[in-house]
Structure 1
Amino acid sequence: MCQGLYRALRGQVNGLGYPSDERLMPYLELARFGSVALIRTFDLWYNLIFALVERWRLETHTFHLLCAECTVTLEDVVLLLGLLIDGSAVTGVSTISEPATLCYNLLGVSLGDAESKFTGLRFSWLKAKFEYLSINATE
């Protein structure tokens, strides 16, 4: 048996690590993300994850099980997280001509010159900037 074919499966859990500010809850509820915001901890079943990883087929994006093939659907996510999915899908190419300006207008801060090629925001950057709301934060 060649050891290069196998590697240990290690888990990594990324969570907020801090309680969310209660002033945000009405907005999260309005966006129908209130139930997701309440998820703090969860157990990872490494044996189950490893079994699924072994059965994943990248070519078809499905799990090959003894009984049939299956994949994770948006409906599965809805049922697991309690999200309400309605309205039109958000797809397509962005037509935002100045994303850094939009970021500044919405958040009051934008990426620095080092990240001038604005293609998205990292959660680590958001956490560093917005981990705690200031006492006089506006809507």
Structure 2
Amino acid sequence: MPSPPSSLIENYLREAGFWHAATIGRGYKLNPKLISALIERWRPKMHTFHFPCGECTIILEKVQLQLGLPVNGAALTRSVQFADWGAICYDLLNTIPDNIYKGRIEMGWLLDTFSELGNDSTEVERIRYARAYILNMIGGYLMSDLS
């Protein structure tokens, strides 16, 4: 969601461990020259930055510090090939996207479906909106895949 998170879902984002990640970059101006310089030095095959002083890699502990996301607990390593993604979306979001492909949903659908949260919303609607907000953060900028 392009706008800052609503105060109505702040507690849900905190409970899920995503509050800090939701507020990253708010109020800061990005430096396009710095971003371009980092992109030029990134080597995707090695997952490292190559600087004149040596190589620099990103490790999970640093990501945890930067994003404030919890990294303890059980790892999700299982591949789900034959899940009923429509039923999963309905259980979590109370709606089913028109197009689900191998567990992927379109970010545009997510933004259109969960565009605003009213002050008169119920707790269940707020929880669903918080879930959609987290999905958008993950698919939009935490683990974006433009392919």
Q: TM-score range by the shorter chain?
A: 0.7 to 0.9
Task: Write the letter of the residue equivalent to 2:32.
Answer: Y
Instruction: Give unpaired runs (5+ residues) of structure 2.
Output: 125-147
Question: Which residue pairs with 1:46 in the alignment?
Answer: 32
Whether the 8 Å CA contact 1:100–1:118 is kept in 2: the answer is no
Answer yes or no: is the 8 Å Cα contact 2:17–2:69 preserved in 1.
Answer: yes
Indicate conservation of the 8 Å contact 1:56/1:63, yes or no.
Answer: yes
Percent identity between matched residues is: 35
TM, length-normalised to structure 2: 0.69
Q: Structure 1, unaligned stretches of length 5 or more?
A: 1-15
**Structure exhibiting the larger radius of gyration computed from Cα positions:** 1
C-alpha RMSD over aligned residues: 2.2
- Aligned residue number for residue 13 of structure 1: none
Residue equivalent to 1:74: 60
Q: Which runs of 4+ in 1 moved over 6 A?
A: none
- 3-state SS, counterpart of residue 87 of structure 2: helix
In the superposition, the TM-score normalised over structure 1's length comes to 0.72
Letter of the 1:119 partner, please give it: G
Letter in 2 for 1:99: W
In the TM superposition, what are the counterparts of 1:69-108 in structure 2 within 5 Å?
A: 69-94=55-80, 97-108=83-94
Instruction: Using CA pairs under 8 Å that are at least 6 residues apart, name the structure with larger relative contact order, 1 or 2.
Output: 2
Secondary structure, in 3 states, of the residue corresponding to 1:69?
strand
* Alignment-mate amino acid for residue 33 of structure 1: F
